[in-house]
Amino acid sequence: MRESDAIHRRGGLAATHELLADGATSHRLTAAVRSGTIVRVRQGWYGLPHADEPLTAAVRVGGRATATTAARALGLASMPDGLIHVRVDAHAARLRDPHDAKRRLGPRADVCVHWRSGGSGSRHRLAAVEAIVDMADCQPPERVVAAADSAIRLGLATRTAWARGIADQPHRLRRLLEEVDPRSESYLESIARFRLRRLGMRPRVQVEIPRVGRVDLLVGRVVVELDGWEFHRDREAFERDRERDAECVRAGLIPLRFTSRQLLRRWAWMRSVIRDALAS
């Protein structure tokens, strides 16, 4: 087996001892690095030239990708924060710069080290539940819940595993993190649901309404729809959304449609609109 094939089979990154077990030799690994078919990530690790850069950077630091870095690699709903999140053993030493294995890791604004031993998953990435639990150290609870929603929805975690994962969190934080609901089908839905619950509302998720179909959130008689990250919609989608809104009105509901920007950057205005609609 070629060295690049062996690394690809292991997810784009592989430890030296794993490659040696696959039949590689030190001479062949050196030759593959010189030819550019593989790269030496750090001592004891090799990768493909175009492997996932955040995962490669985490391994180069000396640990495993966790928190938002692992969440995005797993395809979970998350908001990029521009950081490389690495879990390292509590007594780890010789941490390296994420972009240059020859330099020791100094104070960097783009690396967040999570000092915590153990953890399941692969040798270069934490499993879903543990990665999301690490998010609780550095992310707002709403983002952690959104990632947990998607992990359960995608079958990468269970409610039971999530409950075990957050069992050691402080009581107040644990109560917030327990509010997972895998019926939310997007990051935006999870964030909106979480925030509305903090206001004392009880939004229902993905409710089926006759002649309308499923709506993102139903708060009392107010339908809250969240348009995704895209800015350009095709004509059929535009027409369909207006028809759904009209059918909501015919059913005695108040349709409200918000964009991702309004949810994430104009929340005070958005919540006041929802409150006024409920009061009316």
pLDDT tens by residue, 136-172: 999 999 999 999 999 999 999 999 999 999 999 999 9
User: Does 1 score more than 80 pLDDT?
Assistant: no
Predicted TM-score (pTM) of the model is 0.89
What's the pLDDT tens digit per position in 27-37? 999 999 999 99
Residue 180: half-sphere exposure toward Cβ, Cα within 13 Å: 26
Residue 118: what pLDDT?
86
- Average per-residue pLDDT for the chain: 93
Structure confidence at residue 232 as a pLDDT band (50, 70, 90):
low
Residue closest to 113 by CA, chosen among 155, 74, 60: 60
**Is pLDDT larger for residue 91 or for residue 173?**
173
Which residues are within 8 A (CB) of 154 and not within 5 positions of it... i.e. 6 or more apart?
Answer: 75, 76
Backbone angles phi and psi of 45, in degrees to 5: -140, 140
User: Does 230 score more than 70 pLDDT?
Assistant: no
In whole angstroms, give the CA distance from residue 211 to residue 244.
Answer: 8
What percentage of the chain carries pLDDT values higher than 90? 83
- CATH 3.40.960.10 domain range(s) in the chain: 187-279
**Three-state secondary structure call for residue 66:** coil
CATH no. of 187-279: 3.40.960.10
What's the pLDDT tens digit per position in 50-103? 888 999 999 999 999 999 999 999 999 999 899 999 999 988 888 999 999 999
Q: What share of the chain is helix, strand, coil (3-state, %, to 5)?
A: 45, 20, 35
Residue 11: what pLDDT?
87
Residue closest to 102 by CA, chosen among 31, 45, 43: 43
Residue 280: what pLDDT?
85
Residue 253: what pLDDT?
97
Determine the average pLDDT of the residues in 199-218.
96
What's the pLDDT tens digit per position in 245-278? 999 999 999 999 999 999 999 999 999 999 999 9
